[in-house]
Amino acid sequence: MKIRIATRKSALALWQANHVAAMLRDLPEVDAAELVPLSTRGDEILDRSLQKIGGKGLFIKELEVAMQAGDAEIAVHSMKDVPAEMPEGFCIAAVLERANHADALISPNGAQLGDLPQGARVGSSSLRRQAQLKMLRPDLHIEPLRGNVNTRLSKLENGDYDAIILAAAGLERLELERHISQVFVPTEMLPAAAQGVVGIECLAENEALRTTLGKLNHATTVQTTLAERAIARKLGASCQSPVATFAVVEGGELRVSALVALPDGSESIRDSVAGDPQDAERIGEELALRLLESGARRLLDTAGSMHG
pLDDT (tens digit per residue) in 142-183: 999 988 999 999 999 999 999 999 999 999 999 999 999 999
Q: Quick one: 171 and 208 in the same domain?
A: no
CATH of the domain at 253: 3.30.160.40
247: domain range? 232-307
Q: Quick one: 82 and 14 in the same domain?
A: yes
Q: Quick one: 55 and 203 in the same domain?
A: yes
CATH of the domain at 51: 3.40.190.10
- CA nearest to 79, candidates 237, 171, 198: 198
**Strand, helix or coil at 79?**
helix
Q: For residue 117, how many other CB atoms are within 10 A of its CB?
A: 10
In a domain, 30, yes or no: yes
Q: Quick one: 108 and 93 in the same domain?
A: no
Which pLDDT does position 53 carry in this prediction?
Answer: 41
CB contact at 8 A, 251 and 275: no
Of 43, 81, 103, 162, the catalytic one is 81
CB contact at 8 A, 173 and 165: no
Q: What is the mean pLDDT of each run of 10 residues along the chain (308 residues)?
A: 95 97 97 92 51 57 94 96 92 98 96 97 95 97 93 95 97 97 97 97 97 98 98 85 96 97 96 98 98 95 78
Which pLDDT does position 57 carry in this prediction?
Answer: 58
CA distance 230 to 284: 5
CB contact at 8 A, 198 and 23: no
Q: Quick one: 68 and 119 in the same domain?
A: no
Q: Quick one: 75 and 125 in the same domain?
A: no
Give all strands of the β-sheet with 180-183 in edge-to-edge order.
141-143, 121-123, 163-167, 103-106, 180-183
CA distance 271 to 261: 12
115 is a catalytic site residue: no
Q: Quick one: 133 and 9 in the same domain?
A: no
In a domain, 70, yes or no: yes
Q: Quick one: 66 and 206 in the same domain?
A: yes
Q: Quick one: 63 and 6 in the same domain?
A: yes
CA distance 107 to 28: 46
User: How many residues make up the chain in this entry?
Assistant: 308
Q: Quick one: 302 and 255 in the same domain?
A: yes
Q: Quick one: 213 and 68 in the same domain?
A: yes
In a domain, 222, yes or no: no
Give the pLDDT confidence of 46-91 residue by residue, as tens digits. 445 445 544 555 678 899 999 999 999 999 999 998 988 899 999 9
Q: Measured over all CA atoms, what is the biggest interatomic distance in the chain, rounded to whole angstroms?
A: 58
Total count of domains within the chain: 3
In a domain, 147, yes or no: yes
End-to-end CA distance of the chain: 45
